[in-house]
């Protein structure tokens, strides 16, 4: 990852005022290039596979470019089965979560991007029409017993028409692989990756099924206080681990264009130009914003380091999946208060969890 340091010439600033944002990286962890999810709701695949690609580099492997759409296919099929078995009383949409990528990795393996891009008809991902056609087919199957007998074949036919049929075998390096043998060759143990959240409507240091719409698979999360969740993030980065981040990006203080995510204590016209005072975040505030739907599960991204502004204030370096756009070419600097309030969940390698927190779990 390139260092993103921004310098501005200052004119007529009042005494004591801070300059426009100037970020200096304090910790950078190797990650692959920024990609674009284009017109899809598959940030969960892009963020989590970017996370796994960094894991491979941390493990001393070479740089890999893994296929997001191969695992998206697996999850679409799994969501469809869930929708049929639950007689339409379940979520079928483009959204999912990091633990679903880990499940898909176990279920179907993985392939490199070079073997399957999921873009047979052009250079852009676009799943909106495909989602509509797949959902309509599933709803027909629920009403028609004959269609229900063959819904899997019909589902695959539609999906293959939009994003192509994956290979059963492919060459990589000097070997020929299936998706399963390629996944095995990577040396990733899916059981090493744990999910954490922080809400007080369930006991801390226990697991619970997080009640958000995209958790169709009823994935369980370790519930911990927010100070412990931030401690995991800090410990992970300090020791060379990255973090798969899931949270809310609907706030006025979030701008992918400006590359800034802050939680101002009051409305400011210079929000994305000048550092300012931010809110103090408590567990109670997290809970109230979650219950009022002010904090929602909007987007997943990849946390790959830390930085400070010119006043020494800490930020987290976030790799987005909306292409190399904005001030920092697809990266966002997220303040600690923003992370404390707007994080819905994280995923990390279990070895990134501090020992004192692991003991409580």
pLDDT at 17: 46
Question: Per-residue pLDDT for 292 more than 70?
Answer: yes
Q: How far apart are CA 70 and CA 154, in angstroms?
A: 18
Q: How far apart are CA 183 and CA 52, in angstroms?
A: 11
Q: Kindly state the percentage of the chain with pLDDT values over 90.
A: 89
CB atoms within 10 A of CB 121: 10
β-strand partners of 172: 175
All structural domains of the chain, each given as residue ranges with its CATH number in brackets, are 24-360 (3.90.70.10)
pLDDT at 19: 64
How far CA 113 is from CA of 46, 123, 141, 245, 275, in Å, comes to 12, 13, 33, 23, 39
pLDDT at 134: 97
pLDDT at 148: 86
Question: Per-residue pLDDT for 11 more than 50?
Answer: no
Which conformational region is residue 80 in: left (phi greater than 0), alpha (psi within -120 to 50 degrees), or beta? alpha
Question: Per-residue pLDDT for 13 more than 90?
Answer: no
Question: Per-residue pLDDT for 145 more than 60?
Answer: yes
Q: How far apart are CA 113 and CA 72, in angstroms?
A: 13
pLDDT digits (tens, 9 = 90+) for 185-226: 999 999 999 999 999 999 999 999 999 999 999 999 999 999
Q: How far apart are CA 345 and CA 222, in angstroms?
A: 10
33 CB-near residues (< 8 Å, 6+ apart)? none
How far CA 360 is from CA of 182, 208, 232, 353, in Å, comes to 36, 15, 13, 11
pLDDT at 128: 94
Among 73, 65, 71, which Cα is nearest to 164's?
Answer: 73
β-strand partners of 346: 196, 245
pLDDT digits (tens, 9 = 90+) for 47-87: 999 999 999 999 999 999 999 999 999 999 999 999 999 99
Residues in the chain: 361
Residues 222, 303, 349, CA angle at the centre, nearest 5°?
45
Task: Over range 7-29, report the average pLDDT.
Answer: 64
Q: Dump the DSSP string for 59-94.
A: TTPPP--B-HHHHHHHHHHHHHHHHHHTTT-S--SS
pLDDT at 120: 79
Q: How far apart are CA 77 and CA 130, in angstroms?
A: 13
Task: Over range 36-47, report the average pLDDT.
Answer: 97
pLDDT digits (tens, 9 = 90+) for 80-122: 999 999 999 999 999 999 999 999 999 999 999 999 999 977 7
Phi, psi of 108 (to 5 degrees): -125, -5
Q: Kindly state the percentage of the chain with pLDDT values over 70.
A: 95
Q: How far apart are CA 334 and CA 254, in angstroms?
A: 8
């Amino acid at each position: 990852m390139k260092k993103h340091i921004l310098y501005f010439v200052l004119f007529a600033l009042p005494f004591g005022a801070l300059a426009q944002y100037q970020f200096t990286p304090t910790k950078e962890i190797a990650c692959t290039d920024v990609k674009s999810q284009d017109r899809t709701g598959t940030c969960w695949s892009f963020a989590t596979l970017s996370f796994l690609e960094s894991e491979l580099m941390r493990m001393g492997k070479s740089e890999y470019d893994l296929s997001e759409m191969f695992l998206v296919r697996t999850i679409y099929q799994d969501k469809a089965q869930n929708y049929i078995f639950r007689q339409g009383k379940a979520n079928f949409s483009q959204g999912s979560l990091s633990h679903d990528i880990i499940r898909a990795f176990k279920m179907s393996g993985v392939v490199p991007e070079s073997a399957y891009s999921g873009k047979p008809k052009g250079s852009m991902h676009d799943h909106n029409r495909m989602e509509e056609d797949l959902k309509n087919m599933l709803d027909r199957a629920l009403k028609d017993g004959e269609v229900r007998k063959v819904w899997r074949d019909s589902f695959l036919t539609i999906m293959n028409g939009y994003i192509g049929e994956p290979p059963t075998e492919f060459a990589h390096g000097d070997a020929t692989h299936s998706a399963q043998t390629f996944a095995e060759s990577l040396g990733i143990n899916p059981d090493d990756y744990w999910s954490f959240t922080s809400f007080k409507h369930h006991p801390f240091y226990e697991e619970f099924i997080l009640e958000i719409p995209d958790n169709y698979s009823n994935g369980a999360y370790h519930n911990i206080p927010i100070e412990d969740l931030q401690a995991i993030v800090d410990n992970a980065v300090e020791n060379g681990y990255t973090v798969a981040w899931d949270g809310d990006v609907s706030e006025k203080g979030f701008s992918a264009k400006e590359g800034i995510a802050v939680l101002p204590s009051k409305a400011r016209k210079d929000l994305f130009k000048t550092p300012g005072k931010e809110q103090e975040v408590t567990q109670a505030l997290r809970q109230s914003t979650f219950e009022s739907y002010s904090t929602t599960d909007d987007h997943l991204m990849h946390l790959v380091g830390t930085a400070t502004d010119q006043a020494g204030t800490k930020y987290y370096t976030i790799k987005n999946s909306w292409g190399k756009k904005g001030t920092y070419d697809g990266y966002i600097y997220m303040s600690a208060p923003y992370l404390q309030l707007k994080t819905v969940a994280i995923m990390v390698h279990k070895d990134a969890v501090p020992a004192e927190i692991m003991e409580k779990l």
